Structure 1
Amino acid sequence: MAAVLASLLGSCASKLKDIIIDEAILILGVEKELTKLLRRVELIQCCINDAEKRRTKEQAVNNWLGQLRDVIYDVDEILDVARCKGSKLLADHPSPSSGKSVACKGLSVSSCFCNIVPRRDVAVRIRSLNKKIENIANDKDIFDFQQ
């Protein structure tokens, strides 16, 4: 399971790094939340090998790894959803690339309001996942994993 989970975490971190600067994500305005998520994934990544060694002896560690696996699958899913919704908004209202949040740049006020629902939905889901992974990251300290 460690190889699979380590691979999932590595893939997730890589995907997060790529997607944070994607214009489709910038238009959603969620890059700060995704950056927080990336930091937490990278912190957890450091202790996976030790956790895997201990999971057969300690049921709590095994449960922790299961929770982590489930959240990483959810993160992967929301990244796909965010990219899809952001791409749709971008196609509807192209704006120049700037490296900064383009959530409503170049859009009319009415257009901005029409797009609030997809932006909010993605942001709420990312914030919820961020909270879950924050709890998992905090729980890792209880186990005193070797890095």
Structure 2
Amino acid sequence: MAMILQAFVGNISSRLTKMAADEVGMLLGIPGQIEKLVNTVRDIQCVLSDAERKQINSSAIQRWLMELKDVMYDADDLIDTWQIKTEDCVSSSKFSSSVSLISSFNKTKFAHEIGTKIKELNSRLEEISKKKSDLGLNELLEDVRPFKYPRSNSDISLKTDPSIVLADIVGDKIEEDTELLVKWLTTEEKGVTENVNVFVVVGMPGIGKTTLAKKVFNDLRIQEEFHLKFWVCVSKDLKGAELLKCIIREAGGCHGAAEERSELVPMLKRLVRGKKFFLVLDDVWPESQNVWDGLLRDAMIGGARGSRLLVTTRDGNVARFMNATTTHSVEKLSDEDAWSLLIKQIKTKQRGNIDNA
């Protein structure tokens, strides 16, 4: 049973990851809940191979697998409900205005119902996940998790692709925030003696910090202003050497067989010396807040005057610990903008289904 369940759990995990990436939690008014669900599912997914081996001699593990299966069926039904109801909403309002769309679809009731069920799933899965250790279930070598959302557990994520689907960006607020950040980043501040200034974007999980940072990163004015541009996603438990190697590669260098900080820091120093750079550290947690002063500052302070570090974080204390020059808080989308984003996502999916037919 565990092998079949493992495939089923993997499918649910992928579908939830897509919902998290589409910021569905923000649209439902439950930011962070879907991401939390994804992480718990993936934690459980990592011990299923061990559960497959041990279930034959353990009735407790068999019961645990049955309990997990029930929750996964409920999760599958929930995802189907979300997709069917939203697609029906768009289909029935094809020729209506956005105002009539909102009035024809009881968003508040729907969001409350789905949001409540997602929170309940989180509670049930957390209880299941807690039982892993008691049952002696362990991660096996073949249980490799290719992706974590929202990159909150072990190891640094070396994702360096700041690409964004601009068609999915909606609303005046993100345009205003982009303009404000670009202006801050490209304007020389008076009385600042450091070559590199730190700017921090703060907001709750799923609210759009990374989307905003990507839009800023890809702005033509930013592309023209800076000689070097880097994008790195950071996790709780930072491995400094891996981060250094990643930035060295992004700067066009080659770290070769170097593994120690004492070797990597001088390499990075040489690469950025005298050059105006723009570095984005995405999703910095309090556990990694010394990534600048404790690791990168010595290596990159030799960059040209006007170099910038942009940090996204869910914790406002990170800005204080990183001695940020400026902090910007990301607010929720308006109801109208949230609906516009939802409709864009559904129509994109519908077009994809047609193309694949």
TM-score range, shorter chain: 0.7 to 0.9
For structure 1, which segment, 22-31 or 79-88, has the greater mean C-alpha deviation from structure 2 after superposition?
22-31
Q: Which residue identity is paired with 1:139? A: K
Cross-structure match for 1:69? 69
Cross-structure match for 1:3? 3
Inter-CA distance 57–23: structure 2 relative to 1 (3 Å threshold): closer
TM-score by length of 1: 0.77
1:40-119 mapped onto 2 (5 Å cutoff) = 40-88=40-88, 114-119=106-111
Cross-structure match for 2:114? 122
Superimposed CA distance per residue, residues 109-144 of structure 1 (whole angstroms, 9 cap, x where no aligned partner): x95xx5211110000111111100010001112112
- Alignment root-mean-square deviation, CA: 2.9
Offset of residue 21 of structure 1:
2.8
Offset of residue 28 of structure 1:
2.3
Offset of residue 30 of structure 1:
3.8
Contact 1:24 1:87 in 2 (8 A): no
SS in structure 2 opposite 1:145? coil
2:34 equivalent to 1:34: yes
SS in structure 1 opposite 2:56? coil
Output the CA distance in 1 between the equivalents of 2:115 and 2:92: 19
Offset of residue 87 of structure 1:
4.1
Q: Which has the higher strand share?
A: 2
Output the CA distance in 2 between the equivalents of 1:89 and 1:27: 15
Output the CA distance in 2 between the equivalents of 1:8 and 1:144: 22
Contact 1:20 1:31 in 2 (8 A): no
Q: Which residue identity is paired with 1:4? A: I
Inter-CA distance 85–21: structure 2 relative to 1 (3 Å threshold): farther
Inter-CA distance 116–92: structure 2 relative to 1 (3 Å threshold): farther
Q: Which residue identity is paired with 2:39? A: R
Cross-structure match for 1:133? 125
For structure 1, which segment, 53-62 or 35-44, has the greater mean C-alpha deviation from structure 2 after superposition?
53-62
For structure 1, which segment, 44-53 or 16-25, has the greater mean C-alpha deviation from structure 2 after superposition?
16-25
Output the CA distance in 2 between the equivalents of 1:24 and 1:60: 35
For structure 1, which segment, 5-14 or 28-37, has the greater mean C-alpha deviation from structure 2 after superposition?
28-37
Q: What are the ranges of 5 or more consecutive residues in structure 2 without an aligned counterpart?
A: 140-357
Output the CA distance in 2 between the equivalents of 1:54 and 1:69: 17
Output the CA distance in 2 between the equivalents of 1:91 and 1:28: 20
Contact 1:50 1:146 in 2 (8 A): yes
Inter-CA distance 81–26: structure 2 relative to 1 (3 Å threshold): farther
Output the CA distance in 1 between the equivalents of 2:42 and 2:70: 16
Inter-CA distance 146–121: structure 2 relative to 1 (3 Å threshold): same
Output the CA distance in 1 between the equivalents of 2:92 and 2:116: 22
Offset of residue 27 of structure 1:
2.8
Q: Which residue identity is paired with 1:36? A: K
Inter-CA distance 43–75: structure 2 relative to 1 (3 Å threshold): same
Contact 2:25 2:33 in 1 (8 A): no
The structure whose RCO (Cα within 8 Å, separation 6+) is larger is 1
Output the CA distance in 2 between the equivalents of 1:60 and 1:132: 17
Larger Rg: 2
Superimposed CA distance per residue, residues 40-59 of structure 1 (whole angstroms, 9 cap, x where no aligned partner): 00000110011111112111
